[in-house]
């Protein structure tokens, strides 16, 4: 029962909670932006759209980003630390592979690669905080 009490206290006063919330809200915003403005969003992502199919794929990416943000928000608002930690840690693959995709498409486009790379590093740090000290409410 001690673990359940500690888990129930994880939330608004936790650094890891707000770090994960930042990513959840950020990816939700990015998803909405991809749906509404796919050409601009794709260019900012690091991919130059060349035809209407690329624009459609940008919107598809946006819908998936919106789902990811909403799913993470649901876990955060439910204060489910272990589930948040598992999903968040698995999601590190997204910015890491995005970085590789930008590299494969554009070569060494350092500014865009750094955005994806730093996001992956931020998520690794957040995951570490979420996973460690599961009995503490300040992690």
pLDDT at 9: 79
Report if residue 92 sits inside a domain. yes
Report if residue 107 sits inside a domain. yes
Report if residue 136 sits inside a domain. no
By three-state DSSP, how is residue 25 classified?
helix
Report if residue 137 sits inside a domain. no
Report if residue 119 sits inside a domain. yes
pTM of the model: 0.84
Give me the number of domains the chain comprises.
Answer: 1
Report if residue 59 sits inside a domain. yes
pLDDT at 1: 46
Work out the pLDDT band at 138, boundaries 50, 70, 90: very low
Q: Which domain holds residue 85?
A: 2-131
Nearest to 77 by CA among 133, 30, 18, 135: 18
d(CA 101, CA 132): 31
DSSP code of residue 10: -
Classify the C-alpha dihedral 113-119-121-123 as positive or negative.
negative
Q: C-alpha distances in angstroms, 95 versus 119, 120, 132, 139?
A: 6, 5, 22, 23
d(CA 86, CA 56): 30
Whether the predicted pLDDT of 5 surpasses 80: no
pLDDT digits (tens, 9 = 90+) for 45-101: 988 899 999 999 999 999 999 999 999 999 999 999 999 999 999 999 999 999 999
pLDDT digits (tens, 9 = 90+) for 103-136: 998 889 899 999 999 999 999 999 999 998 665 5
Report if residue 114 sits inside a domain. yes
Mark residue 80 as left, alpha or beta (left: phi above 0; alpha: psi -120 to 50; beta: remaining): beta
Report if residue 138 sits inside a domain. no
Whether the predicted pLDDT of 137 surpasses 60: no
């Amino acid at each position: 029962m001690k673990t359940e009490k500690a888990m129930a206290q994880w939330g608004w006063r936790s650094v890891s909670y707000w770090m994960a919330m930042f990513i959840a809200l950020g990816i939700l915003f990015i998803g909405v932006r991809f749906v509404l403005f796919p050409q601009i969003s794709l260019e900012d992502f690091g991919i130059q759209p060349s035809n209407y199919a690329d624009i459609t794929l940008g919107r598809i990416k946006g819908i998936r980003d919106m789902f990811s943000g909403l799913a993470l928000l649901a876990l955060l608002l439910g204060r489910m630390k272990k589930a948040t930690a598992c999903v968040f840690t698995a999601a590190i693959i997204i910015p890491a592979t995005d970085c590789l995709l930008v590299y494969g498409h554009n070569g060494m486009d350092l500014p865009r690669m750094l955005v994806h790379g730093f996001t992956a590093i931020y998520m690794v740090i957040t995951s570490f905080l979420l996973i460690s000290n599961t009995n503490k409410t300040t992690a």
